[in-house]
């Protein structure tokens, strides 16, 4: 990584960041003081006998967008707080392991899952097959469905009090991995009263969600009847801090114990002992609208792709804390590079001053700067470029509706199932629920269908890489770089998870000394 002293641009940004951090720290003062007990952070927290320390104060990047409904991306907050659980969990390699289900077997299109005994929900009711049927059926019939179920139709029925069967319209080798998605969490009956899904007091994890204060905060207390053993921390106090400088300032000032998504510009200003950097399956991609506007023309999509210089983005914006993308699937999936061959693409055309608007969001601090550099690169190639930058909650609907010519997105590629086929289908299938490129391509749909139907192992990996090549051949997406998790943990935090899939953060073993 280049030395800071030799980069005036970076030095100016560091000085600005330090000044902003001081301001943010003042604004954050006392923001963690209203949790379920006395704020943690050192000896003498509100722990009782057997507690290892005080409450854990967490600064998170994005506020909830759907009232913490598990049927939305908010489900990953519930998972990171260890309050909602699924039938299955994944090991680091993406293989399925027992969680609320202790085992499963397949027979054709049907999978039978045996439920764990001795599990209770946070309202004291026992886990039964009826609860599993209710939760999974709610997800399967939701509109829109959780993206892990894109292209998958399933039905669930009880097979006795401790067993459920899941049947799909086509044989699906990934059913266990799909059921590990936090969007398919199992909640108590109380969560499904009314029109939405309310997870407060309805999970099975080591921490019970006792209060959700909209887009400002959440409070969780330890659940002493947790089937997996007593949590070491008495509770978690969460604050949503979209501003990356403010999140870093909260760690620096001692206002937070754990900070997720530390911006690259702030990571170098923190004590290195407080920062953990983990390669992750997350790709920054420039999605191009194939349905309307300038990028309906494949030749102009090719021109945009050729104009992009990803090396400058990695070096300038990410200060070397990222990897330049060769495809949609990055170094967190090392088999992809070994199997990949260059796709056949259209020849670049002349933009002739075509006007385009690039959208992105400010929640991830680097993305607006990425968009600015892309604006420069595309202008040099002959495009007229405007930017539209908002918070994600205020821009997602427009992006999904195809209102931008291009959109810069930081996207996890194996977030849901541990398998990239689900991400590729969601983002690039004609009926994918997250198809920002508005892509509808027969060759892509065919390749995605083959990948989805192929059994796990080497054959599936080859099918996935073939599907990736079909997508890249359309230039509907220009992969830019692969991010790394940069997380901040105070020096007295023990056992915080550093999960490249961003499913875990505070676990049963996490505590503050």
Just give the CATH number of 279-485. Answer: 3.10.105.10
What does the buried/exposed string (b/e) look like for 119-150 if buried means 16 or more CB atoms within 10 Å of the residue's CB?
Answer: bebbeeeebbbebbbbbbebbbebeebbbbbb
Whether 367 and 408 have beta carbons less than 8 Å apart is answered as yes
User: Which residue ranges make up each domain of the chain?
Assistant: 1-82+205-257+490-513, 84-189, 279-485
Instruction: Please give the DSSP secondary-structure letter assigned to residue 182.
Output: G
- The percent helix, strand, coil of the chain (3-state, each to 5) is 30, 20, 45
Just give the CATH number of 1-82+205-257+490-513. Answer: 3.40.190.10
The per-residue pLDDT for range 6-34, each reduced to its tens digit, is: 343 444 444 444 444 454 444 454 456 54
How distant, in Å, are the alpha carbons of 26, 266, 364 from that of 269? Answer: 17, 5, 17
- CA nearest to 356, candidates 305, 411, 393, 304: 304
Question: What pLDDT shows up at residue 70?
Answer: 94
Whether 322 and 479 have beta carbons less than 8 Å apart is answered as no
Task: Describe the strand order of the beta sheet including 163-168 as a list of residue ranges.
Answer: 101-107, 110-115, 163-168, 154-158
Distance separating alpha carbons of residues 133 and 150, to the nearest angstrom: 19
Question: What pLDDT shows up at residue 334?
Answer: 84
Question: What pLDDT shows up at residue 415?
Answer: 60
Lowest mean pLDDT segment, chosen from 37-51, 95-109, 417-431: 37-51
Question: What pLDDT shows up at residue 452?
Answer: 86
How distant, in Å, are the alpha carbons of 85, 101, 460, 483 from that of 173? Answer: 22, 17, 10, 29
The per-residue pLDDT for range 461-497, each reduced to its tens digit, is: 999 999 999 999 999 999 999 998 899 999 999 999 9
How distant, in Å, are the alpha carbons of 39, 70, 414, 431 from that of 181? Answer: 31, 10, 10, 20
Question: What pLDDT shows up at residue 410?
Answer: 94
Question: What pLDDT shows up at residue 33?
Answer: 52
Q: Percentage of residues in the chain with pLDDT exceeding 90?
A: 75
Instruction: Please give the DSSP secondary-structure letter assigned to residue 45.
Output: S
- CA nearest to 479, candidates 288, 348, 279, 341: 288
Give every CB contact of residue 447 below 8 A, 6+ residues apart in sequence: 463, 466, 467, 469, 470
- CA nearest to 168, candidates 86, 176, 146, 187: 176
Lowest mean pLDDT segment, chosen from 2-6, 198-202, 264-268: 2-6
Residue 369 banded pLDDT, cuts 50, 70, 90: very high
Q: Is the dihedral of CA 304, 309, 428, 74 positive or negative?
A: negative
Token pair recorded at residue 404: 């931008």
Distance separating alpha carbons of residues 36 and 196, to the nearest angstrom: 25
Question: What pLDDT shows up at residue 31?
Answer: 56
Distance separating alpha carbons of residues 252 and 272, to the nearest angstrom: 12
H-type helices in 230-297, by residue range? Answer: 244-252, 264-267
The per-residue pLDDT for range 122-155, each reduced to its tens digit, is: 999 999 999 999 999 999 999 888 888 887 899 9
Q: Mean pLDDT of all residues in the chain?
A: 89
**CATH classification for the domain delimited by 84-189, as one of 3.40.50.720, 3.90.76.10, 3.40.50.1360, 3.30.70.860:** 3.90.76.10
Question: What pLDDT shows up at residue 92?
Answer: 78
């Amino acid at each position: 990584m280049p030395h800071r002293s030799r980069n005036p641009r970076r030095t100016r940004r560091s000085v600005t960041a330090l000044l902003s951090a001081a301001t943010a720290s003042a604004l954050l003062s006392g923001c963690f003081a209203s949790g379920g007990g006395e704020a943690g952070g050192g000896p003498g927290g509100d722990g009782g006998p057997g507690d290892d320390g005080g409450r854990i104060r967490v600064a998170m990047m994005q506020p909830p967008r759907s009232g913490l409904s598990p049927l939305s991306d908010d489900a990953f907050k519930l998972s990171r707080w260890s309050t909602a659980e699924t039938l299955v969990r994944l090991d680091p390699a993406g293989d399925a392991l027992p969680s609320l289900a202790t085992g499963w077997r397949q027979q054709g299109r049907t999978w039978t899952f045996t439920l764990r005994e001795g599990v209770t929900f946070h309202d004291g009711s026992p886990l039964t097959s009826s609860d599993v049927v209710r939760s999974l059926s709610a997800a399967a019939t939701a509109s829109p469905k959780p993206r892990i179920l894109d292209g998958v139709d399933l039905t669930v029925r009880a097979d006795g009090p401790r067993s459920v069967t899941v049947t799909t319209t086509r044989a699906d080798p990934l059913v266990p991995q799909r059921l590990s998605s936090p969007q398919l969490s199992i909640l108590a009956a109380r969560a499904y009263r009314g029109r939405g899904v309310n997870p407060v007091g309805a999970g099975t994890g080591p921490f019970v969600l006792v209060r959700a204060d909209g887009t400002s905060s959440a409070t969780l207390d330890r659940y002493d009847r947790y089937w997996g053993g007593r949590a070491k921390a008495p509770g978690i106090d969460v604050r949503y801090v979209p501003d990356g400088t403010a999140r870093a300032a909260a760690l620096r000032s001692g206002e937070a114990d754990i900070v997720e998504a530390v911006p690259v510009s702030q990571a170098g200003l923190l004590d290195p002992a407080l920062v953990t950097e983990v390669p992750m399956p997350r790709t920054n991609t420039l999605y191009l609208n194939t349905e309307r506007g300038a990028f309906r023309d494949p030749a102009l999509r090719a021109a945009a792709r050729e104009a992009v210089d990803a090396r400058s983005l990695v070096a300038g914006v990410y200060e070397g804390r990222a990897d330049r993308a060769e495809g949609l699937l990055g170094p967190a999936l090392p088999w992809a590079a070994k199997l990949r061959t260059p796709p056949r693409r259209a020849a670049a055309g002349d933009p002739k001053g075509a006007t385009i608007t690039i959208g992105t969001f400010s929640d991830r601090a680097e993305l607006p700067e990425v968009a600015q550099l892309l604006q420069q690169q595309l202008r040099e190639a002959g495009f007229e470029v405007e930017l539209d930058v908002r918070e994600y909650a205020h821009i997602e609907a427009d992006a999904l509706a195809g209102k931008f010519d291009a959109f810069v997105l930081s996207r996890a590629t194996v977030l849901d199932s541990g398998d990239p086929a689900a991400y590729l289908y969601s983002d690039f299938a004609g009926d994918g629920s997250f198809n920002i490129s508005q892509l509808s391509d027969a060759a892509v749909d065919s390749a995605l269908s083959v990948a989805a139907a192929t059994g796990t192992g080497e054959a599936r990996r080859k099918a996935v890489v073939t599907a990736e090549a079909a997508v890249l051949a359309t230039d509907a997406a220009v992969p830019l770089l692969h991010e790394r998790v940069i997380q901040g943990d105070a020096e007295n935090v023990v056992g915080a998870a550093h999960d490249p899939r961003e499913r875990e953060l505070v676990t049963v073993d996490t505590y503050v000394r």
